[in-house]
Amino acid sequence: MQIDTADLLDRFLRYVQIDTRSDDRSPTTPSTPGQWDLLRLLEQEMKKLGLTDVTLTEHGYALATLPATSKRETPVIAWFAHVDTATNLPGAAKPIVHRAYDGRPIVLPDDPTQRLTPETTPFLREAVGHDIITASGTTLLGADDKSGVATVMAAVRHLLRHPEIPHGPIRICFNPDEEIARGMTKLDLAQLGAACGYTLDGSGPGEIDFETFSADAAVLEIQGVASHPGWAKDVMVNAARLAGRFLAALPPDQSPERTDGRAGFIHPLECTASSEHAKVRMILRDFERDGLAAKRALLEKLAADLRAAEPRAIITLTFTEQYRNMRYWLEQDMRPVEFAQEAVRRAGLAPKSSAIRGGTDGSNLTQRGLPAPNIFCGMHEVHSQREWVSLQDMAKAVETLVHLAQVWEEHSA
């Protein structure tokens, strides 16, 4: 299968130069205006390609339909990719294409301390000879998830240019705010109208994911007692000190920096504090419901201990459910996963799966009744200045989607 890699690369380079960093403090959806810029661009590009039912909803979901070429009654499937980038770094990349990567260290020019080497980035060993795209060293590249966006657009374009390939109707959805766990909260599944979906938000070639973390957010707020420090004895209750005591009590062996594999964690994202008021924002992650519940219970105990130690402080701890492990639902019917694995094999790759130490929009979709495994699109070192992607791996993801459309059509018989 001949994928137009020049078009694929051109799309990706254009998308990553738009700053679409999301903002979890914003009450709007999308949470930032830059996401609207990319969504409107995608809306126009989908119309230009010739897709039907192109719609940009009031909450920033760019939807369209790739009409069927098969006369068989085939289930409607959907392809998803999110337009936002992570909150921790600027999102307007200056992309650099490293043609025919030769295996030597890649030094990012705007910050030479940022280096990619096969020793520190093992996946680079598998990409020798590939065209590697990075940012310049001070921003995200945005491959998470603009490599997914470009992959979907390229697959749609390929199928439109090859109407001889039989497939059923395919719905396209580009969505905002995945990075702040709001990616699917305002998507109308009835408006989408699909029986199964696939997120393009994975890493290495051949990866098909059907297990994610379960996730909660937590916020601890402490209201102290104000006093002039010169006359504070037995009067002041210092909220900043209490927040520090709480943070020090978090078990180090349950931190992200000390866990891997199937171990979950409690991660303090941010602490703002004065002597009068403090707030600690956290995320909780575990693959199992019981493990997540245990982490909630631990935080509740630490908050109770703090109240007992200083009863004059007002201490509140609140939790917000973010998403749940999609394995709980997908394992009841593994056909969407099996069809994706077959598509990977047809693309000449070996399918592989692992438990994602993170989440995808598929977690929320699957929990809501739309099974949505996750498919690779080549991204690596995400959420860092060293983020990179292989053009050849993105092309394999495009090929996988084209085969996936055919697999669904064949099984509809």
Instruction: Give the active site residues.
Output: 84, 178
β-strands 77-82, 170-175 pairing: parallel
Cα distance between residue 323 and residue 96, in whole Å: 35
SS3 call for 290: helix
Alpha helices in 162-269, H assignment, sequence order: 189-192, 239-249
With a CB cutoff of 8 Å and minimum separation 6, the contacts of 409 are: 70, 72, 74, 166, 167, 168
Cα distance between residue 263 and residue 256, in whole Å: 9
**Of the candidates 171, 200, 190, 175, which has an alpha carbon nearest to the alpha carbon of residue 52?**
171
Cα–Cα distance list, 201 to 76, 83, 166, 271 (Å): 20, 11, 25, 30
β-strands 277-286, 265-273 pairing: antiparallel
Cα distance between residue 199 and residue 194, in whole Å: 13
> Which residue's entry shows tokens 């374009």?
157
